[in-house]
Chains A and B, each alone.
Chain A
Amino acid sequence: MNWFSFLAAGVLVYIAVAVFLFGTGYRVFQWFRVPRSGIRLGIFPQPRNKGARVLWMARDSFFFPQVLDVDRWMWLFVILLHLGGIAAFVGHLRIIQEFTPLVNALGDEGMAQFALWSGGTIGIILLVTVLYLLFRRFKSPYKDLSTPEDYFLLVLILVIILLGNHLRFFGDIHVADYREYLQSLLAFRPAFPEAIAESGTRWVLASHVLTANILLIYFPFSKLVHFIGAFAGNLLRSEKQ
């Protein structure tokens, strides 16, 4: 590992994960530290009981059906972006633990093909949806409402996706090598295995990890906390009067 990789894809990974976890915890703590107003803000109609309330909250948080009324394209792209994000996260889990049942079913070659196609599709979907959200902000009224944070986050995520796609489509690093790299991180001795160190795409990998680290560090202090706050907001929506 050269010094850049050691910092970006080594040391910084620990810092990023720690900041993300503690930062998120701190933000949640901040919310709970402030007393609630006794005024109930629910709008109508309201769910019949507590169980229904939780179901409505989940429906509103995961599918936000009312958005379909006003902007179908936005709804579609936002759903795809979030599903793509979750799918990409799940795909990366293969680096921690091989999806053995899938390998047994498809065979080694089949699994490689499947990973290429599914990972590739998700990468393209993410790319298109982020570009849509980014270009949307270039025109009024979105432009007038947007702050630099909005562009920064979208560009950062775009770079992560582009680098990830590069590794997927043009890289020559295999999952076993990534796994070895991850093991080195878990052992607190970050190092690229030989296959990565000699690969022409090692810079891309280091940059991919670096930008992902920046995102993780910034995450808890940005509007991305909506990934937790959305549930709270949508629960307040049906607060009983």
Chain B
Amino acid sequence: MNETREKTLVDILDKKMNRQLLYYLDICTRCSICKDACHQYVSTRDVLYLPAYRAELIRRVYKKYFTGMGQFIPALGEAREIDDKLLDELYQTTYACTGCRRCMFYCPFSIDTTWILSVAKAMLIAAGRGSQILAELSGASISKGENIDLFKDIIIDTLKSTEKELQEKVGDAKANIPIGKEGADTLYVALAGTHTILPAAIIFHQARVNWTLSLFEASNYGYFLGNVPQAKTIAQRIVDEARRLKVKEVVITECGHAYRVMSHFYETWAGEKHLFKVRSILEVIAEYIREGKIKLARGHVSKPLTYHEPCQVGRNAGFYEEPRYIVRQVASDFRELTPNRERNWCCGGGGGLVAEFEFDDLRIKTGERKVQQIRETGAEIVVSPCENCRLQLDTLNEKYNMEIEIISMMDLVVDAMVIDKAAN
């Protein structure tokens, strides 16, 4: 490794240094409690996937370049220089992490491993060793934002058939999917494709909401990649749109990370406050049901059903009650996974892993906990409000012959909705 490159990478650690990170780097005692918290370590027994070890790689670099002890007695803390071997190890440990933060829950000092790994990602990117697939996906999102006029007509065209489906479902020939509607109350941000647009359109139509659809997809590969400027640019497309349309709230579709990016990260990245409320579709649906704006057929699903709690929805965003409230309205045989809520296991596909085929074997292997958890309940249907989780569950379903049905929360709701076509 040449000296300028080494210096560049050290500078990144220096620039990224903040108080939270410094605490985390200084206080870890390497007690290894986190080993039993990580689904990847538990399934592989490989120290590379032990959360404290992943963090330790960055800690060793920090010791080498930023502490007196690392300068004078590097061997004591195994302080190490940045070299190609370290970067190889960093890539494997960092991009394999699903960012579920279960280790943070179990850590006696509450060390957020993902916070440390975000520095690792920044260093890898600067070394030209960031995840290529995630970088391409991130780049595609940004390019779509820059050339939206080219995409707009295609999007509107695609939605025409979706609009027809909507009209049939609700029995209203005037029902439509508004795009770029100024003065709408709600800007709904869906995923790429129409599968999260149609059910939302049905729900909004029935709840008589003055809404409009965002031209942009909610998912943010810049966030998974660990490239903050790109992640910010991707989220900013939506923020700018919300401002232009003067909406009161931005509702993010059922997706783990997109809600967090908009609600927990964006304001700090951009250094400005949101001029609108940010809500997850989960709380919005729960509210509509509570207020009687939409009606569901109670006990519509009688097959045993379980709820897989996406880490970014539960532990990292706090939506524990809303999904359960919705599920209980619809399913007569709802079975909880054990453990659940803040202790729930990651499905194994988070952090963009489902998009990175190089980690396919790892994510299939490390999904075994989730498979076991689901089997223990005897559930035939698994509902989960996160696209990454659902894709991972689909893979597990196939590879482990689980014979389960995997559905999204909105599909569950729409299937059970009581639609009075005469009233529309």
Binding site for B on A (CB under 8 A): 27, 30-32, 34-41, 43-46, 60-61, 64, 66-67, 69-71, 74, 78, 140-142, 144-150, 152, 221-223, 225-226, 229-230, 232-234, 236-237, 241
Contact = CB atoms under 8 A, between A and B. Distances in A.
A64 B21 CA distance: 21
A144 to B, nearest CB: 4
Contacts of A30: 22
Given A37-B18, A69-B106, A43 B315 contact: yes
B30 to A, nearest CB: 5
Given A31-B23, A37-B21, A226-B109, 13 more contacts: A31-B26, A44-B342, A45-B320, A141-B32, A146-B30, A147-B30, A148-B77, A149-B77, A221-B67, A223-B28, A229-B109, A233-B110, A236-B20
A38 B268 contact: yes
B33 A44 contact: no
B47 A145 contact: yes
A69 B343 contact: yes
| A contact face: mostly helix, strand, loop, or mixed | helix
A34 B62 CA distance: 15
A44 B264 CA distance: 13
B26 A27 contact: yes
A200 to B, nearest CB: 35
Contact of B264 (A145, A236, A241): A241
A144 B54 CA distance: 12
A40 B263 CA distance: 11
Nearest to A228: B27
A37 B19 contact: yes
15 contacts: A27-B26, A35-B19, A40-B264, A44-B315, A44-B316, A60-B108, A67-B108, A70-B33, A71-B33, A145-B47, A221-B69, A225-B27, A229-B23, A232-B27, A241-B264
B17 A34 contact: yes
A161 to B, nearest CB: 18
A141 B33 contact: no
A149 B76 contact: yes
A44 B18 contact: no
B53 interface: yes
Contact of A233 (B24, B33, B314, B341): B24
A232 B24 CA distance: 9
Nearest to A227: B27
B1 to A, nearest CB: 22
Contacts of A39: 264-265, 268
B317 A44 contact: yes
B223 to A, nearest CB: 12
A36 B20 contact: yes
